Structure 1
Amino acid sequence: MPARVAALLTLLLEQPISLYAAAVLRIGYGFLYFAFLLREFPHRDEIWGPGSPWTPTLAKQLFDQTGWASILTLSDSRAYFEVCYTAALVTCALFMLGWRTRAVSVLFAVVVTSFHARAIFMTDGGDTLILLMALYLVFTACGRRCSLDARRTRLRASADKTPRLPLDQPSGELRRHFRDARLTVVTVLHNCGMLVIAAQVCFLYGSAGLYKVQGASWGNGTALHYALHLDLFQPWPELSAMADEHDVLIAIACCLTVLLQVAFPFVLFGRLKYPVLTMLLGMHLGIAVFLGLPLFSGAMIVADTVFLPDRFYRYLGQLSRRVVPWADVREAQTPTPAEAALVPPQSGHTG
């Protein structure tokens, strides 16, 4: 037991986990919210702007009761709203690209929180999940891989030839201790953030499965039949009617959905998680197509990637270089032991 505790502390304090998964989360949620804001651009004033039926005054009254906050309610000016909307689009794009990620991740969290709180009665589970992930990603080193920060750090490291102060001198020793302490804090925050994200996804699937077990419609295999006949969730009525004709497949899909969600937290420590994640991918794609919930499905698919190891993403990098010969090979290389043991700051500065 002491050896296991020591190994756990070493993993938590010295070695960053799932750096590629954190990058995929950053790219995925940045892209999803960027696409979401672009899609709602023609309707932005009716949803979040001064022309919304839920006026900024009503929103402020609700904030006094709930404790929410939004930068969109600081002014009723239409010009101010347009500036905020443009800044939100730019922030999402920069976050997705990984430019100055440490600071931009905070701005991205502020953007998502502000838009979510401004029209909170129009949000769904996908919006709530993106909000939670945006807050969690602030504490992670999500710009360490597949980002402009990583590229800039690599270029600076190859071009930096300036002599450094010997660490055996008093000032060099102090600087070394300060650097080690800073890197330890960054590593601990990153690891804790990734563990919280994984726990959030497990809790989401487990609670959803347990709620479904309590319902009779999921037990007898008719829940999806009723869902396919809801006018609000029928982007293509003909496709929904065609799918509803297969009663046996609908019943199997109901039972399999409950089984996957309840069993998900218990299969994460073995190879069984890969077929489970594959089936969950198919389930979310079905939700996006048949029920017309692409944002929710995309948020769940991106969240599931946190359970894929870094070796999986390095393999994808190697595979992409075979398909795209001009791809940057240095992103997918295995990190050195010194690089794997420490998480340098995401802004591009090196120790």
Structure 2
Amino acid sequence: MGTEQTPTTVPTVSAGAVQWTVERIRTLWNLVTDRPVSLYAASVLRIGYGLLYLIFLLREFPHRHEIWGPSSPWTSALAQQLFDQTGWNSFLTLSDSRAYFELCYAMALVTSALFMLGWRTRVMSVLFAVVVVSFHARAIFMTDGGDNLILLMAVYLVLTACGRRWSLDARRGRVGAARAGGMPAPMRSLSSQQLRDARITLTTVVHNCGIFVIAAQVCFLYGSTGLYKVQGATWGNGTALHYALNLELFQPWPALSHLVDQYPIAITAACYLTVLLQVAFPFVLFGRLKYPVLALLLCMHIGIAVLMGLPLFSGAMIVADAVFLPDRFYRFLGRLWRRTTQRIGAGSADASRGPESAHVPAQPGPVLTTTPSSATQ
């Protein structure tokens, strides 16, 4: 008896599905290569993190020797032993000289300020990342979540064109373009034009990938934090914030913490709302629901900064959330700022002229009178 072989059917993909996939790939490719996205958001991240780290270094200026310098209990030799195991590195461990440390600290302050202002941003972004990595690695056991996030963002911002907006570089470019407005563009050879186009495309691709990585990092941070909180019993029964408010380590104002702790229903609602916002955050980014979610997260981070005494962490998270706001929002803020400054300038100019010169009555012109005899002549 022979065995009958049943014909096997190979699943076929419809032409419509193939065309839809090709169109989606082409759209994604155009999104990555056509133009740089979120230039204003990248500039906000540059300004925010540069300012935060500058304030951080200025705040710790009286204690700099005990944290990173020669007087630190975590000596350069111990740090070097840890570097051999972890792969970190820091230019602060190259010498134990006090003068060398003071020079490095001054360089870190200047680098943070210039990076925030956007002066030679390409170079300053690399130097700022080196500064943040070096200071973080030198005192790695004295860091918190804010330091870790600033470290990641400093590295990611090297990839972005974060100096194209709201920077000294952008101002210099506008001034140069205004001066050369009437001059014809120089002729380029075909090879030089192709190299220029390739450089622009490469810069655009790297910038867009850097922005996407920053957005993915923030989404992963919120999502993983929310999922970890779901597994905790204190977050499940709504008592996590009660215990956090009663920790002496996180009580900058004990009276305020005890006052807030007297409202258990509000604390329980805040616990559940925090978990809901963090878990749902990656799923609301492609609609208008993200705006109220970002506003609630802003309120949450302000509460963390005030009640728990973690301003660096809260500031780092608030700046990171700015990457999800579109450029039209920042352009609106820019127009609103210019309009406000113009009104203030006009008001101060009117006030400087004084009340007498502000309203000058109209002066009558010369009156020509004619007599009947002259009119008939």
TM-score by structure 2 length?
Answer: 0.84
For residue 92 of structure 2, what is the aligned residue in structure 1? 72
Report deviation, 1:298.
Answer: 0.1
Work out which of the residue numbers 92, 95, 104 in structure 1 matches 2:115. 95
Question: Is 1:296 aligned to 2:320, yes or no?
Answer: no
Output the amino acid matched with 1:91: T
Secondary structure of the residue aligned to 2:73 is coil
Work out which of the residue numbers 330, 333, 336 in structure 2 matches 1:316. 333
For residue 216 of structure 1, what is the aligned residue in structure 2? 233
For residue 253 of structure 2, what is the aligned residue in structure 1? 236
1:255-266 matches, within 5 Å, as 255-266=272-283
For residue 187 of structure 2, what is the aligned residue in structure 1? 166
For residue 6 of structure 2, what is the aligned residue in structure 1? none
Secondary structure of the residue aligned to 2:160 is coil
For residue 217 of structure 2, what is the aligned residue in structure 1? 200
Report deviation, 1:165.
Answer: 4.0
Cα distance in 2, alignment partners of residues 127 and 106 from structure 1: 17
Report deviation, 1:4.
Answer: 2.0
Report deviation, 1:164.
Answer: 4.1
Question: Is 1:186 aligned to 2:203, yes or no?
Answer: yes
Question: Is 1:51 aligned to 2:71, yes or no?
Answer: yes
Equivalences, count: 323
Cα distance in 2, alignment partners of residues 309 and 96 from structure 1: 21
For residue 173 of structure 2, what is the aligned residue in structure 1? 153
Output the amino acid matched with 1:264: F
Output the amino acid matched with 1:246: Y
Cα distance in 2, alignment partners of residues 21 and 33 from structure 1: 18
Residue by residue over 1:226-280, the C-alpha shift from the partner in whole angstroms, topping out at 9 and shown as x without a partner, is 0000000000000000000000000000000000000000000000000000000
1:240-255 matches, within 5 Å, as 240-255=257-272
Report deviation, 1:185.
Answer: 0.6
Cα distance in 1, alignment partners of residues 68 and 28 from structure 2: 46
Question: Is 1:143 aligned to 2:160, yes or no?
Answer: no
Secondary structure of the residue aligned to 1:325 is helix
Q: 1:246 to 1:21 in 2, by over 3 A?
A: same
Cα distance in 1, alignment partners of residues 59 and 121 from structure 2: 25
RMSD across aligned positions (CA): 1.1
Report deviation, 1:301.
Answer: 0.2
Cα distance in 2, alignment partners of residues 199 and 62 from structure 1: 30
Secondary structure of the residue aligned to 2:136 is helix
Report deviation, 1:322.
Answer: 2.1
Residue by residue over 1:174-211, the C-alpha shift from the partner in whole angstroms, topping out at 9 and shown as x without a partner, is 11101000000100000000000000000000000000
Output the amino acid matched with 1:305: A
TM-score by structure 1 length?
Answer: 0.91
Cα distance in 2, alignment partners of residues 72 and 290 from structure 1: 34
For residue 121 of structure 1, what is the aligned residue in structure 2? 141
Quick one: higher RCO (CA 8 Å, sep 6+), 1 or 2?
1
Which structure has the bigger radius of gyration? 2
Cα distance in 2, alignment partners of residues 33 and 267 from structure 1: 30
For residue 339 of structure 1, what is the aligned residue in structure 2? none
Cα distance in 2, alignment partners of residues 47 and 194 from structure 1: 33
Report deviation, 1:163.
Answer: 4.4
Report deviation, 1:166.
Answer: 3.1
Moved >6 Å (runs of 4+): none
Cα distance in 1, alignment partners of residues 342 and 254 from structure 2: 43
Output the amino acid matched with 1:166: M
Structure 2's unaligned 5+ residue stretches are 1-19, 345-377
Work out which of the residue numbers 25, 30, 33 in structure 2 matches 1:5. 25
Residue by residue over 1:287-345, the C-alpha shift from the partner in whole angstroms, topping out at 9 and shown as x without a partner, is 00000000000000000000000000011111112211189xxxxxxxxxxxxxxxxxx
For residue 84 of structure 1, what is the aligned residue in structure 2? 104
Cα distance in 1, alignment partners of residues 164 and 59 from structure 2: 29
Cα distance in 1, alignment partners of residues 251 and 185 from structure 2: 64
**Percent of residue pairs identical:** 72
Structure 1's unaligned 5+ residue stretches are 328-351
